[in-house]
Amino acid sequence: METILRGTTREVVISTAGPVVIIGECINPTRRKKLVSTLREGNFEYVLELAREQIDDFADVLDVNVGFPGVEDEKLLPEVVKALEDNFDIPLCLDSPNPKAIEAALKVSKGKCLINSVNGEERSLRALLPVAKEYGAAIIGLVMDDDGITHDPEKRLAIAGKIINRAVAEGIPAADVIIDPLAMAVSADPGACMVTLGTIKLISSRLGHNMTMGASNISFGLPEREYLNSSFLALAIAAGITCPIAHPGKSAMAVRATDLVLGRDDYAIRYIEAAQKLKKNT
Ligand code: THG
C-alpha cells in the first residue's frame, strides 16, 4: 500500500514495501524552551533552523507541533506552516489536538499534508474526517477510542479497522489512513513495547496499512535514550512500521541500517549515504 504526501514541490511516497520514511520530530516544544520563547515573540528563525537541520539529517517529512501553554494555535500553526513552505519543499505533518488549528493550517498549505491525529473517539472522527476529505489530506489514526487506551493488541487492531472504515465511508482513500499503534514509555510499563510490537504485527498482516509511531516516546524517563530508541525502532520496522516520527539526526543511521538488513537497500546506497554524512560531522 502506498500513501503519497506532497510538499510545495516534493512528493514523498510511503510504501509498506519500504524504504522507511522519517517524519522529523524536532519541531515540538517538549524540552525545547527556545522554540517556545522564539515563537512567542513571533520569531520564526529557530523553527526554520530546526527544519533545515532535520532535512540535512534525512527527514522526509516534518512534524509540526507548536502546542504550548497559552498558545493561540489557530493563528500560530498556519503561520508556521506558511514560513516552512516558503523555505522548504517537503511535506508537513500537522501535530495538534485542536481541529480548528489543523483546518486553519490546511487552508494555507500548498501541499498534501498529514493530519496528526485522528483517533477512534466519536468526537475526533466527526471533527476531523470531513476536514481531511475537504482538503485532500492524509490522516494518522491513533488506536484509542472512547474507552481510552487498551493494552490488548487485538482491540487496538479493531480500533484501527474502525477508523479506516469510517474514513473510507467519508470518501477518504484507505491508503490515506496511516495507523499509529501507540508507542508508550517502557519505564512506566514494562510490557508497553511488546503490546506495541504485537499491534504492529497484527495491523501489518491483517490490514496492510502504513504505520507511524512516536519512536522516542518509549525512552521517556530513562538514560542513554538513543540505544533504547534504536533497538525499538529496528524491531518496529521489522514488524511493519513504515514512517516513524523520530529524531532524524539520532535515528537515520538505525533506520537505514534496518532497511539494509531487511534487503530494501540495493548496494547499500542509502546506508552509505547516511554514513558519509555522519563522517562529515565528526
Ligand atoms: N504519535 C503521533 N504523534 C506524536 C507522538 C506519537 N507527536 C508527538 C510525539 N508523540 C512524538 N514527538 C516527540 C518529540 C520529541 C521527543 C519525543 C517525541 C523527545 N525528544 C528528545 C529531545 O528532543 O531531547 C530526543 C529523543 C531522542 O533521544 O531521540 O523526547 O506518539 N502520531
279 Cβ closer than 6 Å to some ligand 1 atom: no
| pLDDT in the model for residue 59 | 98
Q: Residue 165 — φ and ψ, nearest 5°? A: -60, -45
| pLDDT in the model for residue 254 | 98
Predicted TM-score of the model (pTM):
0.98
How far apart are the CA of 147 and the centre of ligand 1, in A?
Answer: 24
For range 231-235, the mean pLDDT: 98
Give the three cell numbers for residue 182: 501507540
Place of cell 539494509: 260
pLDDT over threshold 90, residue 278 = no
Residue with CA nearest ligand 1 atom 31 = 214
Give the least confident one: 59-63, 69-73, 154-158.
69-73
pLDDT over threshold 90, residue 275 = yes
How far apart are the CA of 189 and the centre of ligand 1, in A?
Answer: 18
Mean pLDDT (the chain, rounded): 97
Residue with CA nearest ligand 1 atom 7 = 214
170 Cβ closer than 6 Å to some ligand 1 atom: no
Give the three cell numbers for residue 84: 516552512
Q: How much of the chain, in percent, has pLDDT values that exceed 70? A: 100
Q: How much of the chain, in percent, has pLDDT values that exceed 90? A: 97
State how far the alpha carbon of 122 is from the alpha carbons of 31, 43, 55, 112, 145, in Å: 32, 37, 36, 25, 8
Residue with CA nearest ligand 1 atom 14 = 25
Query: Do 62 and 90 form a contact (C-beta atoms < 8 A)?
Result: yes
Domain ranges of the chain: 2-249
The DSSP element (H or E) to which 56 belongs, if any, is helix 45-56
State how far the alpha carbon of 112 is from the alpha carbons of 4, 137, 146, 167, in Å: 8, 5, 29, 17
| Among the listed residues 179, 101, 172, the one whose alpha carbon sits nearest the alpha carbon of residue 137 | 172
User: What angle do helix axes 248-261 and 225-239 make, rounded to 10 degrees?
Assistant: 40
pLDDT over threshold 80, residue 271 = yes
For range 122-145, the mean pLDDT: 98
Question: For domain 2-249, is the CATH number 3.20.20.20?
Answer: yes
| C-alpha span between 166 and 126 (Å, rounded) | 10
| pLDDT in the model for residue 34 | 97
| pLDDT in the model for residue 91 | 98
What is the amino acid identity at position 153?
P
Contacts of 175 (CB under 8 A, 6+ apart): 1, 2, 3, 209, 210
| pLDDT in the model for residue 279 | 79
DSSP state string for 233-270: HHHHHHHT--S-EE-HHHHHHHHHHHHHHTT-SGGGHH
The DSSP element (H or E) to which 27 belongs, if any, is strand 23-27
pLDDT over threshold 80, residue 282 = no
| pLDDT in the model for residue 281 | 76
Residue with CA nearest ligand 1 atom 11 = 214
